[in-house]
Structure 1
Amino acid sequence: MKKTLFAEFTAREGAEEEVARLLRDYARKVREEEGNLTFDVYTRTSHPRAFWIFEVYRDEDAFQAHLNAPYGGPFNTALAPLIEEDASVLTFLDQMA
């Protein structure tokens, strides 16, 4: 069964460009993961500091491989001081149709 989630966070005032740069680099790496099917990054039109990431992995094993990727920890460490939340807010989704 596919593993699907939605991650969201808000860049601190003035940190939008650095967050966008980090995300572009990170997205390139995640999209190369064997089990990654989708890694789409968005900002909200009416609030460009709000970042939303829609992620789909082949299955739970692929998601666990993603979590254990060597670039994940450094990305989260670099991101943490640039966002308003303590960490990305994750919402796991179940596909209905």
Structure 2
Amino acid sequence: MPFVVVAHYYAKEGKADEIAAILKEMVTLSRAEPGCLVYYVNRSQDDPRKFLLYEQYRSREDYEAHKATPYFQEKILNTVVPMLESRVPEFYDLIEPE
């Protein structure tokens, strides 16, 4: 069953465009991972400081592998997170018909 991650990011004032550029890089890198099924980055039309990330992985272990990559550590944890006012991850199981 796919493991789903939804993350809400809210950028500090003046940092949204820089964050958007980094997240755009993360789309390409993350989608190339064997365990990544879906990786979408969305930016609010009403408030450009708000981002919504929607990700699906084959398993929680694949998500953990994603978080362990050098580019996640550098681009997200070391660069994007300090530019955020808030970061709220949520975890889901995908419900599909049998």
Q: Which moved more, 1:74-83 or 1:29-38?
A: 74-83
CA distance in 2, matches of 1:47, 1:35: 32
Residue in 2 that maps onto 1:67: 67
Structure 2 contact 30–39 (Cα < 8 Å) conserved:
yes
Count of matched residue pairs: 95
The answer to whether residue 48 in structure 2 is matched with residue 79 in structure 1 is: no
The answer to whether residue 26 in structure 2 is matched with residue 43 in structure 1 is: no
Which consecutive segments of 4 or more residues in structure 1 shift more than 6 A? none
RMSD: 1.2
Gap regions ≥5 residues in structure 1: none
Residue in 1 that maps onto 2:91: 92
Query: What TM-score results when the alignment is normalised by the length of structure 2?
Result: 0.89
Give 1:61 deviation, angstroms. 2.4
CA distance in 2, matches of 1:95, 1:45: 26
